Amino acid sequence: MTEQNETYKGGCACGHVRYEMTSKPMITHGCHCRWCQRESGTSFAVNALIEADRVNITKGDVVEIIVPSVSGAGQRFTRCPKCQVTLWTNYLVMTGGLGEVIRFIRVGTLDNPDPFPPDVHIFTSTKQPWVILPSGVPAFEEYFVIEEIWPPESLVRRAALSSTIEKATS
Ligand SMILES: [Zn+2]
Ligand SMILES: [Zn+2]
């Protein structure tokens, strides 16, 4: 099976919204920052980073709200208008202007989240102490150098997004 024809379906709790990712994500983050802990009400967020144009809403519609973020720029939450479950977020300010084109899919909203454990754990300086991270998965007290952690094929995908943005803004 090639990357292009794999789809991963997900949705909200009430069934109003269904969506699909049309490929694997570029990378999955386990984020242990206090902001993610608060927003999720749990111990860490599991976010699959994927190009916005590889996410299709297949049923229903969504609403967006802006939630304060650590940068001050805000984080946009895309939610079901009925049950209010958040399906993905966008960081409005990201390095290289990628905020609009990379969605952070909440892995727990996939019908089968199991294939996407965190590839990297971040902001472990505020990790809740009972959370024991698996050995062999990179973990950083804050963030990391993308080129050192992302798989090569994902770096190619990210570079393609960057060149699209450069063309649009030049
Ligand atoms: Zn819903
Ligand atoms: Zn976080």
pLDDT tier at 59, thresholds 50, 70, 90: very high
Q: What is the tens place of the pLDDT at every residue in 74-114?
A: 899 999 999 999 999 999 888 788 999 999 999 999 999 99
Q: Quick one: three-class SS letters along 108-165?
A: HHECCCCCCCCCEEECHHHCCCCCCCCCCCCECCCCCCHHHHCCHHHHHHHHHHHHHH
**pLDDT, position 1:** 44
Q: What is the tens place of the pLDDT at every residue in 26-36?
A: 999 999 999 99
**How many structural domains are present in the chain?**
1
CA 55 / ligand 1 centre spacing (Å): 17
Protein residues near ligand 2, an ion, with CB under 5 A? 31, 33, 36
Highest average pLDDT, of 1-5, 95-99, 132-136, comes from 132-136
CATH number at residue 143: 3.90.1590.10
Domain that holds residue 39: 3-169
The whole-angstrom separation of Cα 45 and Cα 22 is 22
Mean per-residue pLDDT, 134-147:
96
